[in-house]
Chain A
Amino acid sequence: MAKTIAEINEKIKTGKAVVFTAEEIIRVAQEKGVKQAAREVDVVTTGTFGIMCSSGAYFNIGHASPRIKLGGGRAYLNDVPAYTGLAAADLFLGANALPDDDPRNRFHPGEFNYGGGHVIEELVAGKDVRLVATAYGTDCYPRKRLETWLNIKDLNEAVLFNIRNAYQNYNVAVNLSDKTIYTYMGMLKPKMGNVNYSSAGQLSPLFNDPFYQTIGIGTRIFLGGGTGFVAWQGTQHNPTVPRTEKGIPKGGAGTLAVIGDLKQMSPKWLVGASVQGYGCSLTVGIGVPIPILNEEILQYTTVTDADIYAQVIDYSDAYPQRRPDTVAEVTYAELKSGKVKIKGKDVPTAARSSYPRAVEIAATLKDWIQTGKFFLTEPVEKLPGAESGVTVKPLRERPIEG
């Protein structure tokens, strides 16, 4: 009764594929039982929409006349510096890049109103972006200065390339100190005044395929409102963390590197973000389809928020000092109820990633598959799994003797 991806794609072609979101499948499996559900369901769609800092995009702007070699020079897009360590007409822009004159945290907490993530959003929205570049000039690339408007439709390539997205699980943040702190997990009030978390929980892609049985290199995905692919495991991919009996990692584990054509994406699903006191970033929408090849794969997609545990970490001390201390362990069901009990105290919770938008992504992907617009791919290589021995290592500093 095991299905193949090719068989599922045949069903998609004829409009007969049975698709549910990772939220809907919970009820379906309860009603029908896992055995029957696995037989009847072809695909489960997942979704997540949150601030993902290790995001960026590369562009080929086309050659100017006379020619200019951006490589080794300097380039700014709307005053935000882009990376020029590549060839003559290629640029890479990171979501966290800031204009040279941004006050940053000089007056703490800084506002970080505009950075790389905002430039990417504006490009995707079809707005003109100002390029100012300087170069040293060569015999073949004599030009030393270039100022021009760029529009995404005129670029040869505009490619979103995020090296770490869709974390399988994530820290839950509190502040045990006696003053307010501003972190990438948001504003944290003193003495554990609030709890912030950032995961779509039961809808999040890697929670629904915890051992990476179907999601691998080459998996076609919903990315930023268009389609993209899993390019590689993300940086800091850490599959060997402790897991629950059901195989769900209890802390940050797997990650994805993703790639896709920026030209077919939408500013609704790639939103520039300002994180007070921290920096600029990009909010990214990702949805991954999970082919139901057998019962075990379906069983994993029935994960609920009550099955998923996360570690509560003190961001005033343990996190910045890189100490492993954990304040508590909580479930996403507790976090989503609006308050959690930690050390006998009811603490209000807030999400950093958007569950309603994750629902919308999973539903959109479901619709694309049901209407024959989106086909599944067979991964060309698996991601390193729990048995791989791959772990994320902290930096071992080796002082440089003067």
Chain B
Amino acid sequence: MAVSKKVVLRFPRRMVERPIIYRLAKDYDLEFNILKASITPEQEGLLVLELKGNQAEYDRGIEFLLKAGVQIQSLSQDITRNEERCTQCGACVTVCPTGAFKLDPKTQLVIFNNEKCIGCGLCIPACPPHAMEVHF
């Protein structure tokens, strides 16, 4: 079964210079799409990836990352909308490059679909009441 998942990887300092992602592609046949990367030599690294491949290979790939000491989180847990703060204005709708915010044509409510979110963070400063939160 094929899977496609977005994950946030945190690399401890000692691992930043190892070719981890290359191994994912070569050994587990996973297709990767880098959504965000901030990796500085001698420091911690952060990588947001979209991974596609066979479910069994994906699971083994994730196991390999965990064994290697990479911390993994699903992306959707990291981008949230604070429903208490959101005023349903719509300032985010055209700011988002992937269309993760959609307007319900009937009610004009703004629907946040974090499956489409790539964690670029453009909505964070664009949201007037500071309702969008990123927890990287």
Show the binding face of A for B, using Cβ within 8 Å.
Answer: 49-51, 109, 111, 113, 186-187, 189, 193-196, 271-276, 281, 283, 336-338, 348-357, 359
Q: Are A273 and B128 in contact (CB under 8 A)?
A: yes
Q: Are A196 and B94 in contact (CB under 8 A)?
A: yes
Q: Are A274 and B128 in contact (CB under 8 A)?
A: yes
List the 8 shortest-distance A-B pairs measured between CB atoms, nearest first: A194-B94, A351-B90, A355-B108, A273-B128, A350-B93, A350-B94, A356-B88, A354-B89
Show the binding face of B for A, using Cβ within 8 Å.
Answer: 85, 87-95, 103, 105, 107-109, 125-126, 128-130
- Chosen A-B contacts, 28 in total, with CB atoms closer than 8 Å, are A186-B91, A187-B94, A187-B126, A193-B94, A194-B94, A195-B94, A196-B94, A271-B87, A271-B129, A273-B128, A273-B129, A274-B130, A275-B128, A276-B125, A281-B128, A337-B105, A349-B93, A350-B91, A350-B92, A350-B95, A351-B90, A352-B89, A353-B89, A354-B88, A356-B88, A356-B108, A357-B87, A357-B88
B94 contacts across to A, CB distance below 8 A: 187, 189, 193-196, 348-350
Tally of contacts, chain A with chain B, CB under 8 A: 74
Bound Cα distance from A196 to B91, whole angstroms: 8
Bound Cα distance from A274 to B89, whole angstroms: 13
**From A109, A187, A336, A357, residue with most partner B Cβ within 10 Å:** A187
B90 contacts across to A, CB distance below 8 A: 350-352, 354
Q: Are B88 and A187 in contact (CB under 8 A)?
A: no
Q: Are B95 and A354 in contact (CB under 8 A)?
A: no
Shortest Cβ distance from B109 into chain A, in angstroms? 5
B128 contacts across to A, CB distance below 8 A: 51, 271, 273-275, 281, 283
Please, which residue of chain B has its CB at the minimum distance from the CB of A198? B89
Shortest Cβ distance from A105 into chain B, in angstroms? 13
B108 contacts across to A, CB distance below 8 A: 336, 351, 355-356
Bound Cα distance from A351 to B130, whole angstroms: 16
Please, which residue of chain A has its CB at the minimum distance from the CB of B130? A274
Bound Cα distance from A359 to B93, whole angstroms: 20
B109 contacts across to A, CB distance below 8 A: 356
